[in-house]
Amino acid sequence: MKIVVGASSFSRTVPGCEVILNPYGRKMTEDEIIAQLEGADGLLAGLEPLNSRVFSACPGLKAIARVGAGMDNVDLEAAKRRGIKVSGTPDAPTYAVAEMTMAALLTIARRIIPANADMHGGVWQKQAGMSLEGAAVLLIGYGRIGKRFAQLLEPFGARLMICDPAYAQIRTDLKAMLAQADVISLHASGKDVILGPEQFPLLKNSVIILNSARGGLVDEDALCRFLDENGGAYYWADVFCEEPYAGPLTQKANAVLTPHIATYTALCREQMEAQAVSNLLRDLGVRELG
């Protein structure tokens, strides 16, 4: 049995199977993943595009196990039509992504990055930051990661606002909440733009926007204009529509960018990879060893 690894940082081996690792160290293109999947039975998937064209070119593919939670890169209907079983690891990233989001918020709120730059430049300058106590923090999306981030915020005394249409008991008046928010943290699924030209004029000129969910939730052109016009606002992103990212946000001093590393802790990667392997072997009908 042959198993291909799409995830660029995968480090585990799969017992009893020929394992073909990602040779590029990045997300593969359609043509690259098609070439890798020749003769493959299973795929330990990263963020490579997995659509009807890929499935048509790889008729032997029986199962896909995403190393991660999101399924935006997988055409689930096309996989179903082909009889390909698809699984993910939604629980494993929860703590690591929530922790990374909190780290980004504290780093920005307390002005650690500019203070560090000043110190390295020989400048002793004190800047007043923002306290989380009493700050209005809007969570857009309240799934596993959103809930965990809310738990991390509780000891700081922040005032939480939650918008998630999936929960009938949660208020979903997004327009009103955007105007009140000191911090906006995106934890939503889907591909629809949440912050675009209509929403940015509603925001405070000192708002902190956190995006650990999906790059497409934010209209980048509107965001860049907003950051240019509001020097006290900040945007942190760990996710982008195109990765590796080299777009205009790299030129914005009030944009803090990380290369999709929210899940990159040793514990999280081990849990994600182990669960993905277990899922794949189950769906391929292979008994796990040990």
Active-site residue, from 214, 220, 269, 273:
214
pLDDT of residue 288: 60
Q: Are residues 84 and 103 in the same domain?
A: no
Clarify whether 26 is annotated catalytic: no
30 is a domain residue: yes
195 is a domain residue: yes
140: which strand partners? 163, 186
Beta-carbon contacts of residue 142 (< 8 Å; ≥ 6 apart): 150, 162, 163, 164, 166, 167, 170, 187
Yes or no: say if 163 and 189 are a contact pair by the CB < 8 Å rule.
no
Q: Are residues 220 and 235 in the same domain?
A: yes
pLDDT of residue 165: 79
pLDDT of residue 17: 77
Clarify whether 66 is annotated catalytic: no
Domain count, the chain: 2
289 is a domain residue: no
pLDDT of residue 18: 85
Q: In this structure, what CATH number is given to the domain that contains residue 46? A: 3.40.50.720
Q: Are residues 218 and 98 in the same domain?
A: yes
Active-site residue, from 187, 260, 269, 273:
260
Q: Are residues 113 and 252 in the same domain?
A: yes
pLDDT of residue 7: 85
Q: Are residues 187 and 69 in the same domain?
A: no
Q: Which residue has the tokens 């703590």?
A: 95
pLDDT of residue 37: 96
- The whole-angstrom separation of Cα 207 and Cα 109 is 10
Residues of the chain under the 70 pLDDT cut? 11-16, 168-172, 288-290
290 is a domain residue: no
150 is a domain residue: yes
pLDDT of residue 166: 77
Phi, psi at 18, each rounded to 5°: -80, 120
pLDDT of residue 194: 96
Query: Which residue range forms the structural domain that includes residue 209?
Result: 94-257
Q: Are residues 206 and 249 in the same domain?
A: yes
Q: Are residues 81 and 200 in the same domain?
A: no
Q: Per-residue pLDDT tens for 120-179? A: 999 999 999 999 999 999 999 999 999 999 999 999 999 999 999 777 566 568 999 999
pLDDT of residue 214: 95
- The whole-angstrom separation of Cα 47 and Cα 6 is 8
Active-site residue, from 30, 53, 243, 282:
243
Q: Are residues 128 and 210 in the same domain?
A: yes
Q: Are residues 109 and 64 in the same domain?
A: no
Clarify whether 53 is annotated catalytic: no
